[in-house]
Structure 1
Amino acid sequence: MIEFRSLNNLSVHLDQLIKGRLWLQVIIGLLLGAGIGVLLNPSTGIVPENISLLIADWLDLPGKIFMRMVQMIMIPLIFTSIITGIVGNTSNNLKTFGLQLLFYFIFTTSIAIVIGVLLTLILKPGQYVFELGGFPNSGQNPIVPDEQTDIIGNIPNAISNLIPSNPMESILTGEMLGVVIFTIIIGVAITQLRPETAKPIIRFSEAIQKICMIVVSWAMMLVPYAVFGLMSALLSRTSIEIFLGLGYYMMVVIIGLLVLLLFYLILVSAVTKKNPLLFLKAIKEPQLLAFSTASSAAVMPISMKTADEELGVSSHISDFVIPVGATINMDGTALFQCVTTIFMAQAYGIELSVMSLLLITFTVVAASIGTPAIPGGGVIILASVLQSAGIPIDGLIVIIGIDRILGMFRTAVNVTGDLTACLIFDKFYGTKLNVK
């Protein structure tokens, strides 16, 4: 077998951040940022509006730099990590394991969407905004049945387009699903090479991983300042009334994420027979780091290390499940997208038919698979979900304002989902794939 150094060995770059209680620094940054933002808001009369907007632009700077740095290394980090898992798993069980993992991710994503749909239809968070006048509308009309039929009829084309005809285009445009499929094909091809031929490729990939982790550690240093600036800029630009008015919507999303977390714990207990409370205790470090950074890609090394050392998962499992899961297993993001889509339909006073809800479900499953594992990735893809359902995207600017706060919660849930998958698949494949 070709030897490949696991990504979790590079987690030393992030250990210091965890020991320094990064999550606590983030909470402090949130609170201080909220206070400064309220003081800077023109409605208080303390700071003139033009000065407030100028200060807000500067306060946004650390967050923008952090996001750019994570985006910069996301594709090479995921590329080399998926290859790690494939090169380490050359047994005959890999094909069955990979297919079952895909079906498992689709299953959990579907559960997340069902939770989101039911909660939003029952609690109706958008009704409050609609009664206040709703979001601004540019005149976009809801999607008509013929358009729905066309979308469903295009499913075969969508499936065939999963394989990128131009991998470089997928990389340059950040189309993550195309990058993942291309990487899996390349990884399988590497396993067919003679060890002496594959060795330079593997050593180059190891060097790329190390470089990416150094850049990630630099970006992490900005996180508390990025969160402080985000909250300050958000509350300085947004009226307190509007922000509080969106509180009910935020509460619905967080309740949905808690229900999804409970579903994971039930899976852990029912399938692996492990104590779910001990499971939560074991994964607290990647959860807190995910909450702090709002990027599941940046937390991959800690997630792998936790799966191996705290959960006892075979490294052959974690090396494959974690990077693939960080890219296509976005259950928390899928729930967020579903709640937000129906919330905005309610805010615009649009009645969604059963067909429209089914269309939203299909679109959210597809969109969550292609969501970038970066801060704000969920909102980047959300526009396509809204357009497919015929819902005006004008109000999306309001969601973007509060997305980072919700992103911290849903990323922690996404990481929990990946670690749950590791534990479940280790039970069935841990010894089978552990081929030396």
Structure 2
Amino acid sequence: MKKLALHWQILIGMALGVGWGMMSSSLGLNQFTADWISPFGTIFINLLKLIAVPLVLASLITGIASLSDISKLSRIGTKTIVTYLATTVLAVVLGLVLVNIFEPGKAFSPQKREEFKEQYAATTVEKSSDAAAVEQLGPLQPIVDIVPENLFMAMTNNGSMLQVIFFALFFGIALILIPPDKAAPVSAFFDGVNTAILKIVDIIMMVAPYGVFALLAGLVVDFAGDDPGAALELLMVLGYYCIVVIIGLLLMIFAVYPILVVVIGKSNYKHFLKGIFPAQMLAFSTSSSAATLPATMECAEKNLGINKEITSFVLPLGATVNMDGTSLYQSVAAVFIAQAYGIELDLAAQLGIVMTATLASIGAAAVPGAGIVMLVIVLQQAGIPIEGIALILAPDRLLDMMRTTVNITGDATVAMMVARTEGQLHPPTEIKVK
């Protein structure tokens, strides 16, 4: 008998977790769930925390070091990286604007938000104390804090992820500047480490259905208490949250990218969408930019007329460093969780989310579920309770499919822009939508 695909297993785990949680509330099994099921959800969260630092470190070093093979094409590389970073920042800011306008986290009843706030009162007090301490420091202190005085101390604290990212960028650039024969074994080492970590991600995702079941069962029990009907409030608010994320993703595909394709790429956007459509559908079904990469390259070359010299560099790099959809989702999710816990994020905290989400997207693995791992980084850097991830796991699979579609569309958009500015965009062959 054919094994169910992972996303179906996760969806079943979600449904069973919600069902078990509501049944526990009805039958008085809340304590049993808290003692014997919920801890497995905590273990799943801890596994995600476990790989956050090594995943970012190895992925970033590998991605930056790969530029050494095309050092003579610095002009194309600069255009590509700057454009990727610009679109990522734009996506994060768009997400923050939407989540601050619609405030989905505040859709919880005041009573529930007070319960969440009390549950993590210690975290909130600690965050307030930290903010007060920061106010007494100089205006450049945030920049000072990015540079670690001890790498190994930074690596022991997921809240110091910006320091790890700084070192990874610094180290990757150094690998480009030293002689290739000296850099090759180091690059090969980190490439091997990166491959091993991605395999660990695969293993963790194998137990994801069980972790999701335990997380949601515990969440529903905590949320509903002895009143199963209270779980309906959770489902309604999650629906509102999903709508906000989807609006942002649709704005990227139907507002931001069309402007870039038409103004800079000087191409018809309808033609562009038709050409990239097969890759979009594969991205939607696999939730993996890496798995979709061959199809994205084929569509870009055959359907959009982009020269192979551009696609062979811009698109693989994009699958590693350009995660517009994921970055937008992270900004919405982070503020949503903060709103749900009654944590007010000031402008400085939200600018920190912009920086962290942008840099974390560079190190995000192009595999299903990597967005959640990167969200752990964003939450911890912003001082938002990581346990809040349980709130958004239920609809994450659907959103993952949609944000991956946005990710690869963004890759193709940048490839077209770079190709046009380099004079390497040619009349495409006949488009065949599969």
Using structure 1 for the length normalisation, give the TM-score. 0.71
Closer, same or farther: CA 410–166 of 1 in aligned 2, 3 Å: farther
CA distance in 1, matches of 2:53, 2:96: 30
Q: Is the 8 A contact 2:105 2:338 kept in 1?
A: no
> Hey, what does 1:332 align to over in structure 2?
329
Closer, same or farther: CA 216–247 of 1 in aligned 2, 3 Å: closer
> Hey, what does 1:316 align to over in structure 2?
313
CA distance in 2, matches of 1:149, 1:211: 40
> Hey, what does 2:253 align to over in structure 1?
265
Residues 395-414 of structure 1: pairs in structure 2 closer than 5 A: 399-405=388-394, 407-408=396-397, 411-412=400-401, 414=403
> Hey, what does 1:115 align to over in structure 2?
98
Alignment partner of 1:75 is 2:56 = yes
Q: Is the 8 A contact 1:42 1:236 kept in 2?
A: yes
Q: Is the 8 A contact 1:108 1:331 kept in 2?
A: yes
> Hey, what does 1:212 align to over in structure 2?
197
Residues 153-172 of structure 1: pairs in structure 2 closer than 5 A: 154-172=138-156
> Hey, what does 2:180 align to over in structure 1?
195
Q: Deviations over 1:135-191 (max 9, x none)?
A: 3555979x99xx799759855332344344433333332343333332233223222
Closer, same or farther: CA 243–378 of 1 in aligned 2, 3 Å: farther
Residues 360-371 of structure 1: pairs in structure 2 closer than 5 A: 361-369=350-358
Q: Is the 8 A contact 2:55 2:194 kept in 1?
A: no
Closer, same or farther: CA 42–113 of 1 in aligned 2, 3 Å: closer
Residues 87-106 of structure 1: pairs in structure 2 closer than 5 A: 87-90=68-71, 91-93=73-75, 94-106=77-89
The alignment partner of 1:98 has SS state of helix
Q: Is the 8 A contact 1:113 1:338 kept in 2?
A: yes
> Hey, what does 1:254 align to over in structure 2?
242
| Residue 262 of structure 1: how far off its partner (Å) | 0.7
The alignment partner of 2:334 has SS state of helix
> Hey, what does 2:232 align to over in structure 1?
244
| Residue 100 of structure 1: how far off its partner (Å) | 3.7
Closer, same or farther: CA 151–430 of 1 in aligned 2, 3 Å: farther
CA distance in 2, matches of 1:246, 1:278: 40
Closer, same or farther: CA 410–178 of 1 in aligned 2, 3 Å: farther
Q: Is the 8 A contact 2:330 2:357 kept in 1?
A: yes
Structure 1 residues not aligned, in runs of 5+: 1-16, 291-298, 388-392
> Hey, what does 1:183 align to over in structure 2?
168
Closer, same or farther: CA 326–70 of 1 in aligned 2, 3 Å: farther
CA distance in 2, matches of 1:21, 1:160: 46
Structure 1: which amino acid aligns with 2:74?
Answer: N
| Residue 414 of structure 1: how far off its partner (Å) | 4.7
> Hey, what does 2:266 align to over in structure 1?
none
Closer, same or farther: CA 197–315 of 1 in aligned 2, 3 Å: same
CA distance in 1, matches of 2:202, 2:381: 32
Figure out how many residues of one structure are paired with residues of the other and give that number.
385
Structure 2 residues not aligned, in runs of 5+: 262-268, 302-309, 365-369, 425-434
Q: Deviations over 1:392-427 (max 9, x none)?
A: x7xx58844423225445544554443233122212
Alignment partner of 1:234 is 2:201 = no
Q: Is the 8 A contact 1:97 1:429 kept in 2?
A: yes
Q: Is the 8 A contact 1:82 1:184 kept in 2?
A: no
Q: Is the 8 A contact 2:322 2:407 kept in 1?
A: yes
The alignment partner of 1:405 has SS state of coil
Q: Is the 8 A contact 2:17 2:216 kept in 1?
A: yes
Structure 1, 215-224 or 148-157: larger mean CA deviation: 148-157
| Residue 332 of structure 1: how far off its partner (Å) | 0.9
Same amino acid, percent of matched pairs:
15
> Hey, what does 1:12 align to over in structure 2?
none
CA distance in 2, matches of 1:155, 1:303: 43
Closer, same or farther: CA 71–361 of 1 in aligned 2, 3 Å: closer
Q: Is the 8 A contact 2:7 2:397 kept in 1?
A: no
Closer, same or farther: CA 255–383 of 1 in aligned 2, 3 Å: same
Structure 2: which amino acid aligns with 1:162?
Answer: I
CA distance in 2, matches of 1:166, 1:433: 46
| Residue 118 of structure 1: how far off its partner (Å) | 1.6
CA distance in 1, matches of 2:314, 2:139: 31
Structure 1: which amino acid aligns with 2:63?
Answer: I
Q: Deviations over 1:268-311 (max 9, x none)?
A: 33433245476465234444554xxxxxxxx5633544543455
Structure 1, 330-339 or 308-317: larger mean CA deviation: 308-317
User: RMSD over aligned Cα, in angstroms?
Assistant: 4.2
CA distance in 2, matches of 1:305, 1:207: 21
